[in-house]
A = this chain, B = another copy of it.
Amino acid sequence: AGDAAAGKSKAAVCAACHGQNGIAQIPTYPNLAGQNEQYLVMALKAYKNKQRTGGQAAIMQGQAANLSDQDIADLAAYYASLPAGGK
């Protein structure tokens, strides 16, 4: 299972686009705060496996390429734990 505290420590690079609080500062990127954990795992694995293309997907393919299953679980747990809307 994912460890939200471990995920937080792994999320520094994510924050550049998805925000320190999981609210994206760039409107073409998704907010992640409060998103469903299982969905985040699926989405990260799909990027890692290059199953998502188009739009900004190439960026996430690169970001996800070196994530382990544990990294993905931890990051998903972390973002799911943040309050939706960043409040």
A residues at B contact (CB < 8 Å): 24, 27-31, 33-39, 42-43, 45-46, 49, 51-57, 83-87
Q: How distant is the Cα of A46 from the Cα of B20 in the complex, in angstroms?
A: 26
The 7 closest A-B pairs by CB, nearest first: A84-B85, A51-B54, A42-B55, A46-B54, A84-B84, A27-B38, A51-B53
Chief secondary structure at chain A's binding surface: loop
* Chain B positions within 8 Å of A38 at CB level: 27-28
Q: How distant is the Cα of A42 from the Cα of B34 in the complex, in angstroms?
A: 20
Whose C-beta in chain B lies nearest to the C-beta of A54?
B51
Q: How distant is the Cα of A39 from the Cα of B31 in the complex, in angstroms?
A: 9
A31 touches B34 (CB 8 A): yes
Q: How far is the CB of A10 from chain B (nearest CB, A)?
A: 21
* Chain B positions within 8 Å of A56 at CB level: 42
